[in-house]
Structure 1
Amino acid sequence: MKTPFPAASTETKVFRRVAVTTLAAALLAGTVAPGVAAADSSAAVPKAAAGQDHPELQEAIQAFVDAGFAGMQLRVHDEQGDWVGSAGVRKLGQSAKPPTNGRFWAGSVSKPFTATLVLQLVAEGKIGLDAPVAGYVPKLGLDRRITVRMLLQHTSGLFDYTGEYYDDGTFAPGIPATGNEWLNNRFRTYRPEELVRLALSKPARFEPGTDQNYSNTNYTLALLLIEKVTGRSYAEELQRRILRPLGMRGTMAAGTRAQLPGPHAHGYYRYQDAGQWKTVDVTRQNLSLLAGAGDLISTTQDLHTFISALNGGKLLPAPLLAEMRKPYGKLGYGLGLFVQDLGPNCGTVYQHNGSPPHSYGALMYSSPDGKRTLTASVTYVDDAARSLRNEFPKAVGRLLAEVFCDGQAGSADEAKPAQ
């Protein structure tokens, strides 16, 4: 889905958008107050880190729960090893804490994976970064001015198939990705080509290359590009090129799978029905709606493994990694990564966060050398009003300050939600 944090100037506009990942959450009144869990000593943690005591990190994730999130699991990796912890509850009404390496819907964290696959094919000479996408997938009838780079950079101008809010306040609907209509259709299966053709049936937002607009269509089209060029499915290429070489056994492209495997925390949606508030468990959902753009299942350990390997130069040649990490436009977006300056004493981080339509959110941050990372998942009770959208950036800002600014207050600005 739309994912948090680039340019601060987009904040007001972004919160109005239909598929924005604000991760706004509010626990049902009257549910059991979630407690905080200490760092999980039973998790697989390097010996150097196993004895670390970081109360400031535990306090930072507790701040999410205090703001209304149901639960959070966090992993921080630095030169001394890993720290893992969790806060809140695994399920509403129960006391068990979220697993510290449980599986979750990762949402738009999928985009750097898709971009990496495309750039690996560029490195092999099978795709031209500045070649027309139409040359690889001619049957779609794409504007020949749209290049592969424009897909990864969100500068193609293609309509987002989940719908578009325009600057004048008008809304052009797409496939419902929020609200009660999504709730009633959350198990529907979509084919990637179906999603792209719906987007192509709508007017483009702008001429290719003339502006920037975060659109899931770009990355679903990138999935079709990968499959066309390789002759294999996206899931097969993901396994072959990234997951298997890095030993990422907790990650998969969900496809039409609606169930999270193994231990996991639950997410919820709250809505009104005949004047009565109801809350439904939406842990099970079909993310074929976001093929290539937001349909990964993962863990905090695997997200650390990926972002560390990527920034450590293990997945791409140095020139292409440099292209990927070069910020562009009003979003500060490279080729599948946001580039975020955290301010004095903190430096730059490379990140991509995300959420499926409702109830889950994922965080993935890395220092430039990949040696310091922050990966996390939150669960919450979502609603149509996105109730706590203003609290989420504050909580993330505090967490970033602790991890990347040595806890210096004010060094990391509040995380600004993007699209």
Structure 2
Amino acid sequence: MRVRTTLGTTLVGATALLVSAALAAPAACASEGGGHAATRKAIEAAVAAGVPGATATAKDGHGTWSATAGVGDLRTGQPRSTADRYRVGSITKTFVATVLLQLEAEGRISLDDTVEKWLPGVVDGHGHDGGRITVRQLLNHTSGIFNYTEDKDFGRDYFTEAGFDRHRYDTVAPRDLVAIAMKHAPYFAPGTAWHYSNTNYVVAGMVIEKVTGHPYATEIERRVIRPLHLPGTSVPGTKATMPRPSSHAYSKFTDPNGPTYDVTNLNPSFASSAGEMISDSADLDRFYGALLGGKLLPGRQLEEMKTTVEATGIPDTRYGLGLMDMKLTCGVHVWGHGGGIHGSASAAVTTADGRHALALNFNGDWSGDADAVLDGEFC
């Protein structure tokens, strides 16, 4: 995608959180009518440019189409699979926002509730005040809360090869992640600007647990994964290994020209409800298609989710509630999100009516042009 925000403080070699989306009616495009040659060419180009492998699946009125390029295992040369499961990073945020909006529809929470109401004393320190921050501001990144992944110590521990090697299997509690953010001043007063912050969604996951009495993972499983029959989708918690089928995931950390490291196994609790989920391309197509097609939220809540603010610094992009609106180079709009975590960069988008969806994954976090893949499919 044209913009990558990162789990770390550096764009190259850190965990890439791809951001994407947009709005508008589906247009006639090269991929419609059953042809996806431009999409295939774009994923092959990503591999030629250095990504170990890529997998993509599109779903539209003509059916389902899938393709792969490159390898899933650099040692054996095993190719990637269209059925690969992979870590989806910040795509998790759309699932979290969906659950909170369902809870709002049930009258159990309001988007205008303060964080302090549900989590007293959690967002407090160095100018942070949970009594001035609403749930809506968490979900659209206008809270001003510091992004814990921009903390220098956290970056050293998780986004360098040596730090990752020491900490890849550590368990980190959500409150500990929020506490990292509270050591810093907020970016701005709540509601006055926009800044992407993973801390927002860690707090959002904690709110879900407080409202329901269940971990956010349980609510996603009950409300989204099971009803939509998403067999490749899971919230792993502290489980470090990947379910099968899956490919290996690779990182170069801070040096895009340096050695390649296998980072497949890790404890994703450091990403928490901001980015720990696993899925596959077919499931992501089904999820975003169902979401934009009105099958997961009542009309009022879906409109709330699609009410956007300017994503400052990201051209042609606006951010809703866990959902992004992105205008492609040809003027077509798509809705969705992107995400990355060590060794995995993904994107999943759909047209505004949910009828034409695409999900893709690169199993390397230092290269790959997801924008070109989206253009190939929708333009």
Kindly state the Cα deviation for residue 341 of structure 1 after the two structures are TM-superposed: 1.3
The 5 A counterparts of 1:67-216 are: 67-142=49-124, 143=129, 144-163=131-150, 173-174=153-154, 176-180=157-161, 181-216=163-198
Q: Do the aligned partners of 1:363 and 1:376 also contact (CA within 8 Å) in 2?
A: yes
Residue 53 of structure 1: how far off its partner (Å): 6.0
Is the Cα contact below 8 Å between 1:326 and 1:339 reproduced in 2?
no
What displacement does 1:101 show? 1.3
Cα deviation for residue 22 of structure 1 reads: 6.9
Structure 1 residue 403 displacement after superposition: 1.2
- Contact preservation (8 Å) 1:106, 1:294: yes
Q: Which amino acid aligns with 1:369?
A: D
1:334 match: 320
Name the count of aligned residue pairs: 351
Instruction: Label 1:362 to 1:159 Cα distance change in 2 as closer, same or farther (>3 A).
Output: same
Would you say 1:375 and 2:369 are equivalent positions? no
Q: Give the SS at the match of 1:375.
A: strand
Partner of 2:293: 312
Counterparts of 1:278 and 1:328 in 2: how far apart (Å)?
40
User: % of aligned pairs identical?
Assistant: 38
How far apart in 2 are the matches of 1:121 and 1:205? Answer: 29
Q: Using a 3 Å threshold, how does the CA distance of structure 1 residues 6 and 54 change in structure 2: closer, same or farther?
A: closer
How far did residue 204 of structure 1 move? 1.1
Matching residue of 1:350: 335
User: In structure 1, the residue corresponding to 2:148 is in which secondary structure?
Assistant: coil
- Select the residue among 284, 303, 326 that pairs with 2:284: 303
**Distance of aligned partners of 1:278 and 1:20 in 2 relative to their CA distance in 1, 3 Å threshold:** closer
Structure 2 CA distance for partners of 1:173 and 1:116, relative to 1, 3 Å: same
Residue 284 of structure 1, CA deviation: 0.2
Q: 1:183 and 1:139 mapped to 2: Cα distance?
A: 33
User: Is the counterpart of residue 401 in structure 1 residue 375 in structure 2?
Assistant: yes
Stretches of structure 2 lacking an aligned partner (at least 5 in a row): 19-30, 313-317
Cα offsets for 1:240-277 (capped at 9, x unmatched): 100000001211111001100111111123479xxxx6
Q: Could you tell me how far apart the structure 2 residues matched to 1:17 and 1:150 are? A: 28
TM-score, normalised with respect to structure 1: 0.78
Q: Is the 8 A contact 1:18 1:162 kept in 2?
A: no
Deviation at 1:17, TM superposition (A): 8.8
Write the letter of the residue equivalent to 1:200: M
Taking the aligned partners of 1:292 and 1:215, their CA distance within structure 2 comes to 12
> What does the per-residue CA deviation read over 1:109-147, in whole Å, with 9 as the maximum and x for residues that have no partner?
100000101111111111111121110111425411100
**Quick check: 2:138–2:201 contact (8 Å CA) kept in 1?**
yes
- For 1:28, the equivalent position in structure 2 comes to none
TM-score between the two structures when normalised by the length of structure 2: 0.86
Deviations 1:175-196 (A, max 9, x none): 5331122333111110111111
Deviations along 1:308-345, whole A, 9 cap, x unmatched?
0000001111121112112202341110011111254x
Contact 1:6 1:340 in 2 (8 A): no
Shift of residue 5, structure 1, vs aligned partner = 4.7
How far apart are 1:237 and its partner, in Å?
0.5
Asked if the contact 2:13/2:251 (under 8 Å) is kept, the reply is: no
Larger radius of gyration: 1
Q: Which amino acid aligns with 2:270?
A: L
Whether 1:21 aligns to 2:16 is yes
CA 1:237–1:95 in structure 2 vs 1: closer, same or farther (change >3 Å)?
same
Structure 2 CA distance for aligned equivalents of residues 191 and 22 of structure 1:
21
AA partner of residue 403 (structure 1): E
Please give the per-residue CA displacement for 1:197-223, whole angstroms capped at 9, x wherever unaligned. 221232111111111110110000000
Q: In the alignment, is residue 360 of structure 1 matched against residue 344 of structure 2?
A: yes
Find the partner of 1:289 among 264, 267, 270: 270
RMSD of aligned residue pairs (Cα, Å) = 2.7
3-state secondary structure, aligned to 1:162: helix
Q: Which amino acid aligns with 2:299?
A: A
2:38 to 40, 53, 56: 56
| Letter of the structure 2 residue corresponding to residue 334 of structure 1 | G
Higher relative contact order (CA 8 A, sep 6+): 2
